[in-house]
Amino acid sequence: MKNFRKSAAVLLAVVFIAVLAFSLVACGGNDGHQAVEADKIAFEIQGEKAVVTFVDKDGKTEVVYNDAYQAYYLSDLIFFLAGKGVFTVESTNTGYGAFFTKVGSVEQNSTDGVYVYFYTDVDEYKDITEYAVTTTFGTKTLTSASLGASSMELKDGKTYLVGQVKW
Distance between CA 147 and CA 6 in Å, rounded? Answer: 52
Report the candidate in 166, 33, 65 with the shortest Cα–Cα distance to residue 108. 166
Q: pLDDT tens per residue, the chain (167 residues)? A: 555 444 433 333 333 333 333 333 333 444 566 777 789 999 999 999 999 999 999 999 999 999 999 999 999 999 999 999 999 999 999 888 999 999 999 999 999 999 999 999 999 999 999 999 999 999 999 999 999 999 999 999 999 999 999 88
Taking the alpha carbons at both ends of the chain, their separation in whole angstroms is 53
Report the candidate in 128, 131, 105, 127 with the shortest Cα–Cα distance to residue 118. 127
Distance between CA 156 and CA 50 in Å, rounded? Answer: 9
Q: How far is CA 111 from CA 32, 108, 166, in A?
A: 16, 9, 11
Per residue, the 3-state secondary structure of 101-166, as one string, reads EEECCEECEHHHCEEEEEEECCHHHECCCCCCCEEEECCEEEEEECCCCCCCECCCCCEEEEEEEE
Contact 156, 46 (CB under 8 A): yes
Report the candidate in 133, 160, 142 with the shortest Cα–Cα distance to residue 73. 160
Distance between CA 20 and CA 11 in Å, rounded? Answer: 14
Q: Kindly report the pTM of this predicted structure.
A: 0.79
